[in-house]
Chains A and B, each alone.
Chain A
Amino acid sequence: MTKKLLLIFGLFFTALGVTMAQNQSLTGKVTDINGNALPGVSVVVRGTTQGATTDASGNYQLAVPGNNARVGFSYIGFLSQEVAVGNQTTLNVTLREDTRQLEEVVVSGLATTIKRSNLANAVTLLNSKDLTGSTTPVTTDGALQGKIAGANIVANTSVPGGGFNLQFRGVSTLGASSSQPLFIVDGVYIDNGQYSNGRSAANKAAAGSSASAQDNNANRLADINPDDIENIEILKGSSAAAIYGTRANAGVVIITTKRGKGGKTTVSFGQDIGFSKPLSFYGGADWTPEKLTNDFSNTRNADGTPNQAGITALNTEIAALNAAKANGTYTDWEREVYGGTGAIRNTRLGITGGNEKTKFYVNGSLSDETGIIKNTGFQRYSIRANIDHKLTNWLDFGISSNYIVSNNDRGWTGNDNSYVNYGYSLAYTRPYVNLFPDANGQYPNNQNGVGENPLAIRDRAINNQKVNRILQGFSVSARALNTNTSSLTFRVNGGVDYQNGYASIWLPSDLQSQLAEPNPGFAQDTRNEVFNSNVQVSAIYTQAALGGRLNLTTSAGAVRLYKYLRSNYVRGSGLPAGVSNPARGKVIDGFAEYQENTDVGVFAQQDANYEDKVIGSVGIRFDKSTLNSQFDKFYAFPRASLAVNATKFGNWGGTALSQLKFRVAYGQTAGLPNFGTTFSQLQVVGVGGLGGLVPSTIVGNINIEPERATELEYGVDFGLFNGRVTGELTLYNKKVFDLILPLNTAPTTGVTSTQINAADLTNQGLEFTLGADVVRGKNFSWFVQPIFWYNRSNVTRLIVPQSLRGGFGATFGQWRVKGPDPDGTTYSPTQIVGQPRTLPATDPGFASSWTSYGDAQPKYELSLNNRITFLKNFEFSALLAYRHKFTVVSLTRVLWDEGGNTYDWNETDDLGNDGKTANGIYRQNVNGVDESGVPKPGYNPNIYSFLKLREVSLYYKIPTPLIKSAFRNVVSNIRVGISGNNLLRWTDYTAGYDPENSNFGSLALGGGVDLGSSPAVRRMMFHIAVDF
């Protein structure tokens, strides 16, 4: 192999010596529709390798072989043009902006790309303008919301630093494989995990556990600076993601960062300043002596006699209430904790430039955002250097380096079992208690049943996570052969993602809640080291046949991935006063865990393009992974696709149709079992001073297979009125097989369960994107883009008994995984069911006869993107997102109702209430659905919708002449603007702050549970960007 390669290299060098024949010369200038020069436009003589690039003033010069030559002009972000030269020697060209991204290339294989206009899959492509052009989200996942057809993106929390649940085209696992898509940044497989820090051990949400989904942590995509991103390609289903084989069941997100384009060195400076405020409050019900007497006292014994102790307690409460109202200390503690203003500060300084041989992009950024809750916030310091160099004209390489430090204070919201979280205690805290610290800084105790002063937690408890991270990517490509009709390129690329996380939790020992513990004080120091590396070797051979009408591309190669995770912590309780070091605790608990896996794949793909009319592709990938029980077995992932550009056949001139493409694609992917599924562990026990080993009651399955998916996707893309209106309609049917679920065994065997391949499901859905230049003028243009999509999931096979998953028990609602009925009725795995049961207790089907409360997946989602440019230099954009009828499991209202503080607690008008009982009392006693099947407003799940103004912005670009007169040539570009994030919201959600919420982090099933949450926030920012 090595010899052959060298031979090819050798031959190539000989070929270099031959100079090309030059005939006539062609010159010209390339501009946009406003007459601005376009530098860097690629000008190529079709069917040859002769080409040139326009200079800074848009001019080019090119040798053309003869009169019948055709020259193509292409430039990123603009529609390509092909012009017959004839006998002209000057050719000026005006390029139109490619608002529909038809010309942009997206991946079609692991080593190949394709123009979107020829693509057979509905790959979503978002460029930097779509992502961060309007407003600056804190994290990249936030920048995706409402912009992708087929994606269900739910924010887990409103605390800065992110935490999102991403699902493309429904659920692809029932929890035993990765529920989140695979993220790739510049060819580096990056980690997007959520790492436990012990917070739910500190507040006993999951007492004693070593890792819990209730720690409410950010996912590590938060480390990627959204401003560095050039574009994001989203492979939603298996048909497109098949090229990533064994890890791609939940989709793939390919992020490409900005790179130097060459030319004049540009220094760019950007600054955002903004603030955030809560969107709504939830409490605020007034307290009166009558309320205390009627609903919060125990003045009578069961036999009707007066209860003296209860009467005394009531009188004390009434006196405290009256006193607080009289002396003005009656305080709404929710507004005190959640009513703050967050500060947003983003600064970036970038330098980009280079020459023919070397191009660079260097960007340093600082993001600092504090939350509406004091002592919460997110800071990220990121420095990136992307460098490309042409070693010779056949060999070039590029590196992408990124170093990130992030620091996140996540606060104390969510579930709690020890009075610690203010998300919990505020619901119960009455406005007439005094919680402000005294002159000595001592925080008064809250009432007994509440158990903790939320201000003390806010000001004194620590929940911090720091990450140091390096992303390093590289690519080398060598063109071994390059003739008029064929080329052969070898490429090696890959990289490393290394992160070191350090989380600390501290509850000082003198907190009211801690003093009630046998060992007051809790601290945990957690370290996480995550390493991902990948390398890919590929060869790409292109060949033009049939006189250049048929282009064939053959690619093949191999990939190898390696990942390890090392995490450990020291947990201490019983801390001396003021001590936060867990190693100084009275009771110390240590933990260490290791994971590692290696995946290997080989792939081959054949693409064919006949005159851009018919574009076909077939490919196959073979993958093996050490996570599978058969670590050395290759699984095959075939794919095939076909696109037909109908408008390229014959003459469509004179019709409104400018583009009509039919496409169909099929592919397979897999989801790997979680680490450890195959292991049967021996655990360590001790007795009588001796250490011993006993088997775990959970047995590894040495026959576990990966979860496999197939997807058939088809659709039509069209353009009308010369591309003024474009549309993309896609239908898909994604089938997932061999989903892993626990098989419960007979426990008297000493084995309680093992993971088996137990279920199949289907995801079927529709995605429709329409884009229209409603008005297209020099002084006013209006682009509008509605996106509509829905997904339906159904379990089609289940060989274990039906089960309820996620949540906090059937009382509040859980996700039911249920196989088809004998009559063929199928059920969604995201269906929410709960109490009460619908059959009598004597019925054999009683145990599983749960009430159905709809589906956690929305009926449909709709987003509307508007972009208006006016007076040449003003640009306004607005993104509206609507999510229709999805079920939310909420315990938040239960807390606030029990606490007597819900905003409408004192009213008597809730659905089904008798008009006499306080809503807050009424709701605690109802659940189920009413006669017409509508869920009651009790503690049961309910169905909601929302409409959010996700993003809105107005920018002004200072006209070039004005800049020139003011700054001469020092400044080339100034753009100022204001923007907002979630500025407006309409929702019928009444069971908490916001229906977008998750106490459990990102999960396939069981994610969206609202418990002890904090308000959703609106963010407003002022932006300035200057290019030098």
Chain B
Amino acid sequence: MKKHTSILLASLLTGSFLACNPLKTEEVIDPNFPSVGAVTNNASKAQLDALSVGQFSLARNGWSTYILVVGTIGKELFNFNGTESRWMTELNGARPIDNSAFYNTATTGWGLPVRQANTTIAALNNTSSVTDVQKNGYRGIANTFKGLSYLYMLNAQGTNGIRLNVEDPFKPSKPASYAESLAGIAKFLDEGATQLDQAGAAFPMAIPAGFANFNTPARFKQFNRAIALRVAIYQADWAKAATLLPQTFYSATGDLRAGPVNTYSPTPPDFGNPFLNTSSSQIVGVQQIFDAAEPGDRRLSKVSKQTAPLTYSSGIAYSTPYLTNIYRSASDPFPIIRNEELVLIAAEIAAQQNNVAEATRNINIVRTAAGLPNYAGATTKDALVNAILKERLYSLFYEGHRWVDMRRYNKLNEIILPVANMKVLERLERPVQEVNWDLFNP
């Protein structure tokens, strides 16, 4: 009896370990997050939709740093930041610019939206869960944001150029020249426009609320063409710009505020508007600019004049009474491109093509809206361009244009320096990890 028990026990023990193969293991799938690999192969429609929403979300990725950096360098606004004096010192040329400081996000923050677009396009090329027409909808959106993100990156880097091919992040192309970079961006946008043309009448996915008026392929293409138009005027290719203008949502009679916006919400996983003034970070308008504004200009409402001037004294001393007044709620949206910019681009094209009447007509659309009398200055090309640059300064204040505009007309030396030892940087440095990568991977 006892022996039997023992044999039973022994065989049970032996048997149980031979029943299943104790050496076999199975791959552990990330239990916390979906993986990039999961979407590159046979992505479902829901996954493609999520990537597309991610693309819209990432348009805000480097945005807050970018807008404040570009605004600071262009001396239209300053960030009075109580715990970070480098906004005032290094970005204004009072101390050497640092290629590893926080403000390099103005360049690097645009890397991820580009990667998102590449990931989406790669996923589309490797799935059959949506039709070819639908695929073109996703692709058109991806390429449009890819072009836009690259354009911001290039604005920050200027003549340093950008890496136009980062499809394999471990084998990125070398930075292209400024002209090549612009041409490359135009190509991504054109590709997107073609795809939007072939995307049918409606997108297969929901489009975020900030693009409520641009939620069909046809309407979204108008946004795409508006960005392409921006690229064309940066290229000073006025003929191309003239052909692009009617393809955008330009409207001489429409609301100047019309255009897609980046929306914010403090409820996770969304996040609140990052531009709100706080006790430690106040975004102020440069005094010299608003003091020089024409009386009655309605665009002055973008700042509120304080009775006691706001003063900054860490590393650099500067006072201004103008506190920005645009963003007051965590859910206030931020415009990406507005009809007002298109109107002023229309004026600029006309001025460059020596069409004085068309130029002044467009200038006056903006001036009338601002409550100002019609343009009465000289009508030479140079005079008109200067007039347009001035309107752009007030119309597009806090939208990231002043520095880029003055740079493309080689007028950086005409920017007023609010403090004597300030300088206007021509571009940001290449971020240290960009430099290191090329050093280690020649």
List residues of chain A with CB under 8 Å of any chain B CB: 1-2, 5-6, 9, 13, 391-392, 395, 476, 478, 492, 535, 537, 558, 560, 592-600, 602, 624, 626, 631-632, 676, 679-697, 699-700, 744-752, 800-801
Contacts of A695 in B (CB 8 A): 36, 112, 115-116, 119
The contact of B60 among A13, A595, A687, A747, by CB within 8 Å, is A687
A-B contact pairs, 29 of them (CB 8 A): A6-B11, A395-B10, A537-B17, A560-B23, A595-B31, A596-B28, A600-B22, A602-B23, A624-B25, A631-B27, A676-B30, A681-B30, A682-B35, A683-B33, A684-B33, A687-B53, A688-B210, A692-B57, A693-B34, A695-B115, A695-B119, A697-B112, A744-B436, A747-B431, A748-B107, A749-B114, A749-B163, A749-B166, A801-B440
The 4 closest A-B pairs by CB, nearest first: A750-B115, A688-B208, A692-B53, A692-B54
* A801 and B436 contact, Cβ closer than 8 Å, known pairs A680-B37, A749-B163: yes
Question: Which residue of chain B lies nearest to A841 when distances are taken between CB atoms in the complex?
Answer: B96
* A750 and B112 contact, Cβ closer than 8 Å, known pairs A395-B9, A682-B38, A686-B270: yes
Cβ of B434 within 8 Å of any chain A Cβ, yes or no, is yes
- Most chain-A Cβ atoms within 10 A of its Cβ — which of B57, B119, B262? B57
CA distance A593 to B438 in the complex (A): 37
Interface string of B422-442 (1 = CB under 8 A from A): 000000000101101110100
CA distance A700 to B29 in the complex (A): 13
CA distance A845 to B411 in the complex (A): 36
Contacts of B1 in A (CB 8 A): none
The contact of A690 among B22, B24, B170, B208, by CB within 8 Å, is B208
Of residues 383 to 429 in B, which have CB atoms within 8 Å of A's CB atoms? none
Contacts of A683 in B (CB 8 A): 33
Contacts of A681 in B (CB 8 A): 30, 32-36
* A2 and B116 contact, Cβ closer than 8 Å, known pairs A594-B32, A682-B34, A686-B265: no
CA distance A688 to B205 in the complex (A): 13
- Shortest distance between the CB of A121 and any CB in chain B (Å): 28
Say yes or no: A687 contacts B25, CB within 8 Å: no
- Shortest distance between the CB of B110 and any CB in chain A (Å): 7
Say yes or no: A687 contacts B57, CB within 8 Å: yes
Cβ of B39 within 8 Å of any chain A Cβ, yes or no, is yes
Question: Which residue of chain A lies nearest to B266 when distances are taken between CB atoms in the complex?
Answer: A587
Say yes or no: B263 contacts A687, CB within 8 Å: yes
Say yes or no: B51 contacts A692, CB within 8 Å: yes
Contacts of B162 in A (CB 8 A): 748
Cβ of B246 within 8 Å of any chain A Cβ, yes or no, is no
Contacts of A691 in B (CB 8 A): 50, 53, 269
Contacts of A747 in B (CB 8 A): 107-108, 111, 431, 433-434
Contacts of B14 in A (CB 8 A): 1-2, 5
Contacts of B54 in A (CB 8 A): 685, 692-694
Question: Which residue of chain B lies nearest to A687 when distances are taken between CB atoms in the complex?
Answer: B57
CA distance A602 to B23 in the complex (A): 8
- Shortest distance between the CB of B261 and any CB in chain A (Å): 9
Cβ of B13 within 8 Å of any chain A Cβ, yes or no, is yes
Say yes or no: B208 contacts A631, CB within 8 Å: no
CA distance A828 to B293 in the complex (A): 62
* A745 and B13 contact, Cβ closer than 8 Å, known pairs A686-B269, A687-B263: no
Of residues 11 to 69 in B, which have CB atoms within 8 Å of A's CB atoms? 11, 13-15, 17-18, 22-28, 30-39, 47, 49-58, 60
- Shortest distance between the CB of B153 and any CB in chain A (Å): 6
Contacts of A624 in B (CB 8 A): 25
List residues of chain B with CB under 8 Å of any chain A CB: 2-3, 5-7, 9-11, 13-15, 17-18, 22-28, 30-39, 47, 49-58, 60, 107-108, 110-116, 118-119, 153, 162-163, 166, 169-170, 172, 206, 208-211, 262-263, 265, 267-270, 431, 433-434, 436-438, 440
Say yes or no: A694 contacts B112, CB within 8 Å: yes
CA distance A596 to B115 in the complex (A): 29
Contacts of A748 in B (CB 8 A): 107-108, 110-111, 114, 153, 162-163, 166, 172, 431, 434
Contacts of A392 in B (CB 8 A): 2, 6
* A2 and B33 contact, Cβ closer than 8 Å, known pairs A746-B172, A748-B162: no
Contacts of A2 in B (CB 8 A): 11, 14-15, 18
* A687 and B208 contact, Cβ closer than 8 Å, known pairs A600-B22, A679-B30, A750-B111: yes
- Shortest distance between the CB of B218 and any CB in chain A (Å): 20
* A699 and B10 contact, Cβ closer than 8 Å, known pairs A392-B2, A685-B57, A746-B434: no
* A626 and B25 contact, Cβ closer than 8 Å, known pairs A391-B6, A747-B111: yes
The contact of A686 among B23, B51, B57, B434, by CB within 8 Å, is B57
- Shortest distance between the CB of A189 and any CB in chain B (Å): 16
CA distance A392 to B50 in the complex (A): 65
Say yes or no: B32 contacts A693, CB within 8 Å: no
CA distance A5 to B268 in the complex (A): 61
A-B pair count, CB < 8 Å, reads 216
Say yes or no: A694 contacts B35, CB within 8 Å: no
- Most chain-B Cβ atoms within 10 A of its Cβ — which of A537, A687, A697, A744? A687
- Shortest distance between the CB of B174 and any CB in chain A (Å): 10
Contacts of B211 in A (CB 8 A): 688
- Shortest distance between the CB of A550 and any CB in chain B (Å): 31
CA distance A749 to B55 in the complex (A): 15
The contact of B25 among A492, A598, A682, A693, by CB within 8 Å, is A598
Say yes or no: B31 contacts A391, CB within 8 Å: no
* A684 and B119 contact, Cβ closer than 8 Å, known pairs A600-B22, A747-B433: no
CA distance A745 to B170 in the complex (A): 7
- Most chain-A Cβ atoms within 10 A of its Cβ — which of B7, B17, B169, B210? B169
* A688 and B36 contact, Cβ closer than 8 Å, known pairs A6-B11, A749-B166: no
Question: Which residue of chain B lies nearest to A690 when distances are taken between CB atoms in the complex?
Answer: B53
Contacts of B269 in A (CB 8 A): 684-686, 691
CA distance A385 to B403 in the complex (A): 77
Say yes or no: B169 contacts A750, CB within 8 Å: yes
Say yes or no: B39 contacts A682, CB within 8 Å: yes
CA distance A262 to B350 in the complex (A): 105
- Most chain-B Cβ atoms within 10 A of its Cβ — which of A2, A535, A602, A749? A749
Say yes or no: B22 contacts A597, CB within 8 Å: no
Contacts of B108 in A (CB 8 A): 747-748, 752
CA distance A624 to B11 in the complex (A): 28
Say yes or no: A631 contacts B169, CB within 8 Å: no
CA distance A6 to B10 in the complex (A): 8
Say yes or no: B436 contacts A689, CB within 8 Å: no
* A689 and B433 contact, Cβ closer than 8 Å, known pairs A395-B9, A681-B36: no
- Shortest distance between the CB of B334 and any CB in chain A (Å): 12
CA distance A755 to B30 in the complex (A): 17
Say yes or no: B172 contacts A752, CB within 8 Å: no
Say yes or no: A751 contacts B32, CB within 8 Å: no
Contacts of A745 in B (CB 8 A): 169-170, 433, 437
CA distance A726 to B433 in the complex (A): 57
CA distance A692 to B39 in the complex (A): 13
The contact of A558 among B22, B47, B270, by CB within 8 Å, is B22
Contacts of A595 in B (CB 8 A): 31
CA distance A801 to B208 in the complex (A): 42
Contacts of B7 in A (CB 8 A): 6, 9
Question: Which residue of chain A lies nearest to B150 when distances are taken between CB atoms in the complex?
Answer: A748
Question: Which residue of chain A lies nearest to B117 when distances are taken between CB atoms in the complex?
Answer: A750
The contact of B55 among A13, A593, A680, A692, by CB within 8 Å, is A692
The contact of B13 among A476, A599, A676, A749, by CB within 8 Å, is A476
Question: Which residue of chain B lies nearest to A593 when distances are taken between CB atoms in the complex?
Answer: B32
CA distance A197 to B360 in the complex (A): 65
5 A-B pairs besides A687-B208, A749-B166 with CB distance below 8 A are A688-B210, A690-B56, A692-B52, A747-B433, A748-B163
Contacts of B208 in A (CB 8 A): 687-690
Say yes or no: A687 contacts B18, CB within 8 Å: no
- Shortest distance between the CB of B104 and any CB in chain A (Å): 8
- Shortest distance between the CB of B380 and any CB in chain A (Å): 41
Say yes or no: A9 contacts B31, CB within 8 Å: no
- Shortest distance between the CB of A597 and any CB in chain B (Å): 6
Contacts of A537 in B (CB 8 A): 17, 22
